[in-house]
């Protein structure tokens, strides 16, 4: 029990610290790394609360796949560009901070006042979840619920993923590449191009942008 308090304290500090550091890091890569840190800390929080499957998925999908995607796009757009931390819109930053403080006050008020109300509503407490984690196991219990009560949302999720894939393929298609070209000659001009082709040039002229790309400097 005491150990859990210690782990929670460390997790709390790391998660909040990484989140705060995200606000002040000027470089997008640093922001991404701090986000990974806070996500790993949250995975620890999930473990502490008996959500073992979710914790592992959090690390694999969030800290792994999604953050790699972010870093990929950051690198594709150029790492060296520092975001100017000066605000062109006068007074926006204090205003945003004020709104943030207001939101924090509201949410914390709801949390601190509402916990007892919510906690009384369920059938079981933490003991019930522990029993479930013991007997069928966390993953089995999740699967039982997911494939019975939430079967329809699960299938809708698969449709969502297919739509996202098709949408991204349509979006990432180069402009001017309408597909009218016969497939049998995909040859010289766009053969050696990397996957993110055309990221450099922004012009439809594929050959010109291929030349710019080999120098590796977008824009």
Partner 1 sequence: MNGVDPGFYLVLAALMFTIGVVGVLTRRNAIVMFMFIELMLNAVNLVFVTFARMHGEVAGQVLVFFVLVVAAAEVVVGLAIILLIARRRGTADVDEASLLRW
Q: Is residue 75 involved in binding partner 1 (CB under 8 A)? A: no
Nearer to partner 1, 84 or 183 (CB): 84
Question: Residue 153 corresponds to which tokens in the numbers above?
Answer: 């949302």
Alpha-carbon gap, residue 112 to 100, rounded angstroms: 18
Q: Is residue 90 involved in binding partner 1 (CB under 8 A)? A: no
Query: Can you state the angle between helices 2-24 and 28-48, rounded to 10 degrees?
Result: 160
Among 80, 90, 91, 127, binds partner 1 (CB under 8 A): 127
Among 10, 79, 134, 153, binds partner 1 (CB under 8 A): 153
Q: Are 141 and 133 in contact (CB under 8 A)?
A: yes
Please give the DSSP secondary-structure letter assigned to residue 45. Answer: H
Nearer to partner 1, 153 or 194 (CB): 153
Q: How many CB atoms lie under 10 A from the CB of residue 11?
A: 19
| Piece of the chain touching partner 1 by CB under 8 A; list 12-20, 177-185, 187-195 | 12-20
Q: Is residue 188 involved in binding partner 1 (CB under 8 A)? A: no
Return the sign of the alpha-carbon dihedral for residues 198, 201, 207, 211.
negative
Alpha-carbon gap, residue 76 to 218, rounded angstroms: 8
Question: Residue 177 corresponds to which tokens in the numbers above?
Answer: 């590449």
How many residues touch partner 1 under the rule CB under 8 A: the total is: 96
Return the sign of the alpha-carbon dihedral for residues 83, 88, 93, 99.
negative
Nearer to partner 1, 109 or 189 (CB): 109
Question: Residue 170 corresponds to which tokens in the numbers above?
Answer: 């349509």
Among 10, 79, 124, 208, binds partner 1 (CB under 8 A): 124
Query: Using CB under 8 A as the criterion, what x/- string covers residues 34-53 for binding partner 1?
Result: -x--xx--x--xx-xxxx-x
Among 10, 176, 186, 202, binds partner 1 (CB under 8 A): 202
Q: Name the one residue in this structure whose structure tokens are 């709390």.
A: 12
> At closest approach, how far in Å is the CB of 185 from partner 1?
26
Question: Residue 80 corresponds to which tokens in the numbers above?
Answer: 């060296």
Among 10, 79, 130, 134, binds partner 1 (CB under 8 A): 130
Q: Is residue 99 involved in binding partner 1 (CB under 8 A)? A: yes
> At closest approach, how far in Å is the CB of 190 from partner 1?
16
């Amino acid at each position: 029990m005491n150990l859990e308090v210690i782990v929670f304290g460390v997790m709390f500090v790391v998660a909040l610290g990484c989140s705060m550091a995200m606000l002040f890091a000027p470089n997008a890569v640093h922001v991404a790394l701090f986000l990974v840190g806070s996500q790993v800390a949250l995975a620890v929080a999930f473990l502490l609360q008996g959500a073992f499957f979710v914790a592992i998925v959090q690390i694999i999908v969030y800290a792994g796949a999604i953050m790699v995607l972010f870093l990929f796009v950051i690198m594709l757009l150029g790492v060296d560009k520092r975001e100017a931390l000066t605000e062109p819109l006068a007074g926006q930053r204090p205003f945003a901070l004020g709104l943030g403080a207001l939101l924090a006050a509201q949410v914390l008020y709801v949390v601190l006042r509402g916990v007892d109300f919510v906690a009384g509503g369920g059938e079981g407490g933490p003991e019930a979840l522990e029993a479930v984690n013991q007997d069928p196991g966390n993953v089995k219990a999740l699967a039982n619920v997911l494939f019975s009560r939430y079967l329809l949302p699960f299938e809708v999720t698969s449709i969502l993923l297919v739509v996202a894939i098709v949408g991204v393929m349509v979006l990432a298609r180069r402009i001017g590449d309408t597909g009218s070209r016969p497939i049998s000659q995909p040859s010289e001009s766009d053969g050696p191009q990397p996957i993110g082709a055309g990221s450099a040039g922004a012009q439809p002229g594929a050959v010109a942008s291929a030349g710019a790309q080999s120098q590796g400097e977008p824009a």
